[in-house]
């Protein structure tokens, strides 16, 4: 008799955790990288607070979420970048042919905004993320031929742009993340996170609505044009 792989039970438990529509909705919402209250997630998922609390307990116990309490509020967020990568990679497997059609104008507008530009945990995604990734590659700042890697010129570009890269942890400096709307990889890792953080802090991008969508501001158009040669039309 073949010996059962010792990882099989762990994989089965992980799959069972994600294989629930309410829990999946929470994980997708938390891809914005922020901490949400249990009440906010309950409204987002369209379930009662008591039901949502049960689901959050399972996700926390399973190591997919971390939680903290401030006063009477309970906040949760994705446990780390690895969990975010797992959720985004799974979402990317949903092809456009099987995607759910928007039910109304509001859903259609929200979907269009997400496709145009959004955060994927802590880095930029959608057409905005792809435009930035392509511009970095064309200018010789990022290599994609043997996996994502910043070139020496790329490291210099981040430094000259005033974007600090924290290189003391175990997280890769640059990593490809498959974009679930564009079906192409965008920049993730330390560099992707630093660029996204700088874009939001510098006012190049602002969050819109309650989802992960972001839009480029006029100052962002100018900055991305000057620094990376991205034309404004590519950002919309």
Instruction: Answer whether residue 86 is part of any domain.
Output: no
Which pairing describes strands 118-120 and 142-143: parallel, antiparallel, or unpaired? unpaired
> 161 with 208, same domain?
yes
As for how many domains the chain has, the answer is 2
Between 106 and 84, where is the model more confident? 84
State residue 35's pLDDT score.
87
Range of the domain at 46: 8-79
Same domain, 116 and 228: yes
Which tokens is 132 given? Answer: 């930035």
Q: Are 133 and 192 in contact (CB under 8 A)?
A: no
Phi and psi based region of residue 79 (left: phi greater than 0; alpha: psi -120 to 50; beta: remaining): alpha
Residue range 30-88, pLDDT digits in tens:
988 888 988 889 998 899 989 999 999 999 999 999 998 887 788 999 998 889 888 88
Q: Are residues 58 and 109 in the same domain?
A: no
- Calpha distance 233→40 (Å, rounded): 34
Q: Quote the tokens at residue 170.
A: 């175990």
Pairing of strands 214-216, 205-207: antiparallel
How far is residue 188's CA from residue 68's CA, in Å, rounded to a whole number? 26
For residue 201, pLDDT over 90 is answered with yes
Model confidence band, residue 105 (pLDDT cutoffs 50, 70, 90): very low
Give start and end residues of each alpha helix (H) in the chain. 8-18, 21-29, 38-45, 49-61, 81-92, 105-116, 126-138, 152-160, 189-201, 218-228
What is the structure's pLDDT at 34? 83
Locate 229 and state its tokens.
């040669």
Are residue 74 and residue 119 in the same domain, yes or no?
Answer: no
Give dist(CA 40, CA 47) in Å, integer. Answer: 11
**pTM, rounded to two decimals:** 0.72
Percent of the chain with pLDDT strictly greater than 70: 90
Measured CA to CA, the distance from residue 182 to residue 62 in angstroms comes to 31
Distances (CA, A) of 99 to 21, 76, 181, 211: 15, 27, 10, 18
Using an 8 Å Cβ cutoff, are 176 and 92 in contact?
Answer: no
157/192 same-domain check: yes
Whether 41 and 124 map to the same domain: the answer is no
Written as six digits, the tokens of 145 are: 């031929």
Asked if the structure places residue 89 within a domain, the reply is no
Residue 215 lies in a domain: yes
Report yes or no on 88 lying in a domain. Answer: no
| Token pair of 92 as six digits | 């990317």
Q: What is the mean pLDDT of residues 151-166?
A: 95
What span, in angstroms and rounded, lies between the C-alpha atoms of 69 and 74?
A: 5
Facing residues of 143 across strands?
149
In this structure, what token pair is assigned to residue 232? 């404004």
Q: Is 124 among the domain residues?
A: yes
73 and 107 belong to one structural domain: no
pLDDT for 5 beyond 90: no
What tokens does 106 get?
């509001």
Confirm whether 194 is domain-assigned: yes
Helix (H, G, I), strand (E, B) or coil at 114: helix
Same domain, yes or no, for 220 and 119? Answer: yes
């Amino acid at each position: 008799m073949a010996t059962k792989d010792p990882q099989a039970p762990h994989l089965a438990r992980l799959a069972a955790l994600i294989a629930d529509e309410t829990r999946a909705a929470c994980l997708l919402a938390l891809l914005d990288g922020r901490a949400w209250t249990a009440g906010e997630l309950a409204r987002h998922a369209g379930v009662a607070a008591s039901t949502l609390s049960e689901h959050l307990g399972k996700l926390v116990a399973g190591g997919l979420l971390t939680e903290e309490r401030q006063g009477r509020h309970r906040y949760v967020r994705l446990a780390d970048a690895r969990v975010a990568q797992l959720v985004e990679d799974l979402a990317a497997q949903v092809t456009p042919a099987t995607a759910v059609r928007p039910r109304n104008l509001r859903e259609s507008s929200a979907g269009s905004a997400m496709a145009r530009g959004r955060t994927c945990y802590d880095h930029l995604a959608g057409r905005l993320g792809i435009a930035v990734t392509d511009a970095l590659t064309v200018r010789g700042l990022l290599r994609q031929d043997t996996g994502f890697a910043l070139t020496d010129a790329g490291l210099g570009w981040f430094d000259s742009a005033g974007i600090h890269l924290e290189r003391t942890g175990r997280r890769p400096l640059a990593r490809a993340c498959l974009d679930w709307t564009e079906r192409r990889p965008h920049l993730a890792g330390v560099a992707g996170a630093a660029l996204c953080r700088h874009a939001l802090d510098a006012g190049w991008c602002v969050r819109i609505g309650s989802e992960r969508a972001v839009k480029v501001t006029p100052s962002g158009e100018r900055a991305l044009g000057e620094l990376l040669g991205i034309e404004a039309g590519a950002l919309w």
